[in-house]
Amino acid sequence: MNELLTLNEIECQYDGRLAVCGLSLRVNKGETVCLLGPSGCGKTTVLRAIAGFHPLSGGEILIHGTTVSDPNFTLPPEQRHLGMVFQDHALFPHLSVGNNVGFGLRGMSREQKQTIIDEMLELVGLTGMGDRYPHELSGGQQQRVALARALAPEPDLILLDEPFSNLDIELRERLSGEVREILKRRGTTAVLVTHDQHEAFALGDAVGVMHEGKLLQWDTPYNLYHEPGNRFVADFIGQGVFLRGTLLTPDTVETEIGMHKGNRAYPWERGTRVEVLLRPDDIVPDPASLLQAQVVQKAFRGAEILYTLRLRSGGRVLSLFPSHADHAIGERVGIRVQADHLVAFPLEGSHPSRNAPSAFSNASPPSKLSRESEGIY
């Protein structure tokens, strides 16, 4: 595939501090990629730097192999052949839908311009709405107009800045799928920034997790969820809890709920004390299991129920049950671990020894994510 966008060790200052630090990535033509992270992590600053709205204090940005930004040079945004879709749509209220879509079209006849406008409106599912005005449209329709306007000049790259954050959850999920389909149909390269991991996973061929100005992991959504590269990514992506355990072999850990053998080998010595990440889909119901846990919280989700379960040690795990398996608070249920991936991190200050304590001795307190998930009950 042809490399369209390249960021080489870029650095950006914001309010006198280093907001982006040594960030590098590559985007191939036709890919949709996402920068994901909490507020203040630097993702929007990266997007603005790509667009030419924010200068670099280090590194360089290349489009089609040509430098468009470095510490001594910034190519103006209008010369970068980019399209942008903003969080608040940024439509012109005094222009019709058709004129909004055609705003960036220059140097062509009225007939050519109208043909492109009609094609764009058909592409985003708004055929026949060219004469309406933005205030006559729903939020989702306005965002489709914004996308059509960005696509109309056939840019090399589209940048999307939290484009669905002002929409309700159901519309956000539906529209993110539609936008991905439109981008793929057109073969358009896109970079999205968002704090919503569901949005990033729905749209992105690759997703980069950012924290404190650094790109911690650049990977597929699947690998970010099942193979997080560090503790922050593991804690930030999805839901889960960490149970303490002991490394028995490079690919096997013992915890209070049994042995966990995974698909990766860790370099630590035998006996190293670790924390094992367990997702809700790693813990499955098993009425015949000797491993019992007590229901302490539950959240009905339609097709499934998310249970918070207390183990014998007092530690907690999250588990997804089919919704017809409706258990009362306080009830004990049988569970087992069904995980192909072993994700473990050494405990801080862990000193492996032959007489390492049993993995059953102390379950770690619920992780940040498990505590946040409990807040929804």
Assess whether pLDDT exceeds 80 at residue 166. Answer: no
Q: Tell me the per-residue pLDDT of 229-244, one tens digit each, with 9 for 90 and over.
A: 999 999 999 999 999 9
- What secondary structure letter does DSSP report for 220? -
pTM across the whole model: 0.83
Assess whether pLDDT exceeds 80 at residue 18. Answer: yes
Which of 16-20, 296-300, 325-329, 373-377 shows the lowest mean pLDDT across its residues? 373-377
Q: Tell me the per-residue pLDDT of 78-98, one tens digit each, with 9 for 90 and over.
A: 999 998 888 777 888 999 999
Instruction: Give the span between the Cα atoms of 264 and 113, in whole angstroms.
Output: 56
Q: Tell me the per-residue pLDDT of 325-376, one tens digit each, with 9 for 90 and over.
A: 899 999 999 999 988 888 999 997 765 544 433 333 333 333 444 333 333 3
Domains of the chain: which residue ranges? Answer: 3-226, 239-374
Average pLDDT over residues 280-284: 93
Hey, is 221 helix, strand or coil? helix
pLDDT at 204 (0 to 100): 94
pLDDT at 5 (0 to 100): 97
239-374 topology per CATH: OB fold (Dihydrolipoamide Acetyltransferase, E2P) (2.40.50)
pLDDT at 350 (0 to 100): 67
pLDDT at 265 (0 to 100): 87
- Other C-beta atoms closer than 10 Å to the C-beta of 77 total 15
Q: Tell me the per-residue pLDDT of 186-206, one tens digit each, with 9 for 90 and over.
A: 899 999 999 999 899 999 999
Q: Which residue from 339, 346, 283 is spatially nearest to 311, judged by alpha carbons?
A: 283
Instruction: Give the span between the Cα atoms of 90 and 203, in whole angstroms.
Output: 22
pLDDT band at 168 (very low <50, low <70, confident <90, very high): confident
- What secondary structure letter does DSSP report for 54? S
pLDDT at 16 (0 to 100): 85
List beta partners, residue 319: 307
Residue labelled with tokens 């329709």? 141
pLDDT band at 264 (very low <50, low <70, confident <90, very high): confident
CATH number for 3-226 (one of 3.40.710.10, 3.40.50.2000, 1.10.10.10, 3.40.50.300): it is 3.40.50.300
